[in-house]
């Protein structure tokens, strides 16, 4: 008689279980969207209102009052292509960190792969990312942007890079947040820094000029995967309309920085999964 291999209760196969439980993932995403807009008059329209307001504030503050836009052709396209990435990352990372707390009632009642919760948070953030991407496409087309194969590839890589990093960080801080609620406050600080630690409100050329005598600081700056993702979106949407002058303000080697960004993101994902799996057995009792 064949023996059945026993497994530790409350332990799964990590992210692999998410692929085998796609139906549950779909239900969780629907639930999150339904809860998010319950009692809301505008509903999904907030996906347009929030980034539009953010864009107007930054455009006038940085582009008009501080005159950053004078040194960046088609500053509106440059700014909004960066905002789209930052908003996606902020929602993905922030919600993935809090999703275990938000779903405590499910975690305490039934067992299902715990990774479903942070992954569902990423999916919800993608739903809100798509309307902003549509607005970016329309705006870019209005000023003469035309898609290229390399541009589409760059945008896709930027999207994947942001999603992988958001999931990895969300799993890491989300699992710690179950035990120490200070983690989500620390995440809010990181997200505040993220907007300014990437070339969204200023050009990469300004960074090179500021660190002209300290090349290693530029290298450290480029190790940030969100910096790479923002630059990939700039390459996809801003460079085609900005022309050679725009390209001169990009990193010297986009291929190298992209590979490095993905390596860092996958290391973060591995670390997040490792910590998550070590702590998930105690989630129910702590919640």
DSSP string, 57-119: HHIIIIIIIS-GGGGSTTHHHHHHHHHHHHHHHHHHHHHHHHHHHHTHHHHHH----TTHHHH
The predicted structure's pLDDT at residue 283:
83
Which of residues 109 and 287 earns the better pLDDT score?
109
The answer for residues whose C-beta is within 8 angstroms of residue 135's C-beta and 6 or more apart is: 48, 51, 52, 80
pLDDT recorded at residue 214: 85
Residue 23's pLDDT band (cuts 50, 70, 90): confident
**Domain residue spans of the chain:** 45-286
Q: What is the arithmetic mean of pLDDT over 275-280?
A: 90
Supply the pLDDT for residue 39: 63
Most distant CA atoms of the chain, gap in Å: 78
- Tell me what pLDDT residue 72 has: 85
Q: Is pLDDT larger for residue 12 or for residue 45?
A: 45
* pLDDT at residue 215 greater than cutoff 70: yes
Is the pLDDT at 149 greater than 60? The verdict is yes
Over residues 151-184, the pLDDT tens digits come to 999 999 999 999 999 999 999 999 999 998 888 8
Above pLDDT 90, what percent of the chain? 38
**Tell me: the pLDDT tens digits for 260-271?**
999 999 999 999
pLDDT (0 to 100) of residue 12? 62
The tens digit of pLDDT for each residue in 31-78 reads: 887 877 776 666 677 777 788 888 888 888 888 887 877 888 889 999
d(CA 75, CA 79): 6
Confidence of residue 224 (pLDDT cuts 50, 70, 90): very high
Residue 4: pLDDT band with limits 50, 70, 90: very low
């Amino acid at each position: 008689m064949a023996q059945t291999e026993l497994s530790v209760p409350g332990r799964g196969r990590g992210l692999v279980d998410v692929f085998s439980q796609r139906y549950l993932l779909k239900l969780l995403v629907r639930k999150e969207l339904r809860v998010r807009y319950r009692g809301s008059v505008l509903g999904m329209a907030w996906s347009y209102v929030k980034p539009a307001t953010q864009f107007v504030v930054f455009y006038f503050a940085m582009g008009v009052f501080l005159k950053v836009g004078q040194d960046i052709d088609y500053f509106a396209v440059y700014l909004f292509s960066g905002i789209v990435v930052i908003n996606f990352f902020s929602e993905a990372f922030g919600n993935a960190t809090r999703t275990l707390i938000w779903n405590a009632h499910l975690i305490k009642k039934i067992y299902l792969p715990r990774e479903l919760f942070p992954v569902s948070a990423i999916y919800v953030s993608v739903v809100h990312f798509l309307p902003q991407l549509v607005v970016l496409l329309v705006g870019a087309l209005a000023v003469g942007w035309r898609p290229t194969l390399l541009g589409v590839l760059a945008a896709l890589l930027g999207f994947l890079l942001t999603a992988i990093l958001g999931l990895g960080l969300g799993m890491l801080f989300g699992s710690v947040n179950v035990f120490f609620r200070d983690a989500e406050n620390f995440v809010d600080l990181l997200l505040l820094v993220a907007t300014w630690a990437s070339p969204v409100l200023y050009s990469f050329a300004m960074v090179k000029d500021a660190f002209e005598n300290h090349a290693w600081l530029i290298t450290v700056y480029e190790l940030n995967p969100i910096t790479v993702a923002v630059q990939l979106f700039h390459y996809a949407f801003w460079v085609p309309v900005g022309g050679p002058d725009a390209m001169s303000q990009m990193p010297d080697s986009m291929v190298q920085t992209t590979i490095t960004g993905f390596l860092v993101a996958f290391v973060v994902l591995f670390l997040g999964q490792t910590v998550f799996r070590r702590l998930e057995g105690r989630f129910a009792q702590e919640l």
